[in-house]
Amino acid sequence: MTELGRFLATGIGSMPFTSAERAVDVLLLRLPDAPHWPQLPKLGFTEQMEVQYTEGVPCAVLDRTKNRIYFDTSGDYSEAFGDFYAKYEQAITGGGVDASLGIGPDFSHGFHAMEHRLKTQGTQRPFVKVQTAGPLTMTLTVTDQDKRALYYNDEFRDMIVKAVIVKCLWQIERMKPYAGKVICFSDEPILTAFGSSTYISVKKEDVVSLIGEVMEAIKAVGAIPGIHCCGNTEWSIPLEAGVEMLNFDAFGCGDSLALYSDSVHSFLKRGGTLAWGIVPTSNAIHDNPPNVLAEKLEGYFKGLADKGIDRGLLAERAVLTPSCGTGTLSPEDAELVYSTLSDLSKLLRQKYGF
């Protein structure tokens, strides 16, 4: 049986294709043990990261002329919120996610293409990965009608966090028949800006609480909760928020974890998994074949081993991913990222006897 860790390969989300079928072909070929559904932003506005998860959410306004999403907080939204919270309670108490809060084909061609392919194949993959924009990213980047971030509106912040949870639960519910385990990532690129002057009023304990609420909901339905952050941040935040898989740009800042070695060691000892984004999603992919990336990764292992973390444990609890999504690359380079990732996984599994 394929185990979580041991250089299992999976991906992040976005891909540059305009054909969902082509994207699914690449993913099932290169990530047979842990495919993810492809986010396809080149297919249009509703496939953009934040927009994709707002379908059916109260007060969301999609301005397709300006390609802008915002939430109208100016009117009486009590009835809309009441209906939403009733559906949220239904979802978290095992009654299933109301169809109005799912993700339709117009908002994610990739999800439905992957689901259809897995259903048609009729076999269960060891893992299937799904993803949402995280609660911090959603509330700090999506605004109201006056361009004020929803994070600073307590009612809307809470509602958005619960909307993220519902979107996670819907995906997990739909993919469970095709996976031994579902992995659900909360994508939090905004974490790289934590502590900057722009977000000086955003407190660490509030961030931990927001993320933790989503992680707990994912865990409660038997899925594996993870976070993806495509840059450097204060890594104690996700580690304290109850993540079970931490995904980061190891190609660009793999040595940053050594600053949090005690927290990382505790995380691994309690069963956590580090998902090393060691395969670059830039032009650097042309200069970094699998053997070079393996050497780079093992250098980071050495740095953590020097801090007292067993190398064997690091290998046991290692997943491999691209450093970020491939949506901004050419289709050819995206395919190269995934073939490099697949070959790297095979190389390291053979080397470590997995």
Contact at 8 Å (CB) between 305 and 260? no
Residues 6+ positions from 208 with CB-CB distance below 8 Å: 237, 240, 241
Residues 243, 248, 252: CA angle, nearest 5 degrees: 165
For residue 164 the two structure tokens come to 């993220």
pLDDT above 70 for 1: no
pLDDT, tens digit, for every residue of 94-104? 999 999 999 99
- Would you list the DSSP string of 69-110? EEE--SS--HHHHHHHHHHHHHHHTTS---GGGS--TTT-HH
- Would you list the DSSP string of 34-54? S-BPPB-GGG-GGGSTTGGG-
For residue 23 the two structure tokens come to 């994207």
For residue 228 the two structure tokens come to 């993806």
CATH of domain 8-351: 3.20.20.210
Q: Token match 């559904």: residue?
A: 37
pLDDT above 80 for 118: yes
> How far is the C-alpha of 239 from the C-alpha of 249, rounded, in Å?
16
> How far is the C-alpha of 226 from the C-alpha of 198, rounded, in Å?
26
Contact at 8 Å (CB) between 313 and 2? no
pLDDT, tens digit, for every residue of 63-74? 999 999 999 999
> How far is the C-alpha of 111 from the C-alpha of 36, rounded, in Å?
9
For residue 125 the two structure tokens come to 């993959």
Q: Token match 């396809």: residue?
A: 40
Q: Is 119 helix (H, G, I), strand (E, B) or coil?
A: helix
Kindly indicate the confidence band of residue 230, based on its pLDDT and cuts at 50, 70 and 90.
Answer: confident
- Measured in degrees and rounded to the nearest 5, phi and psi for residue 295 equal -65, -40
Residue range 277-288: mean pLDDT, rounded:
97
Residues 43, 126, 273: CA angle, nearest 5 degrees: 90
* DSSP state at residue 5: S
Residues 211, 212, 216: CA angle, nearest 5 degrees: 125
pLDDT, tens digit, for every residue of 25-56? 999 999 999 999 999 999 999 999 999 999 99
> How far is the C-alpha of 175 from the C-alpha of 164, rounded, in Å?
17
β-strand pairing of 68-71 with 60-63 = antiparallel
pLDDT, tens digit, for every residue of 121-153? 998 999 999 999 999 999 999 999 999 999 999
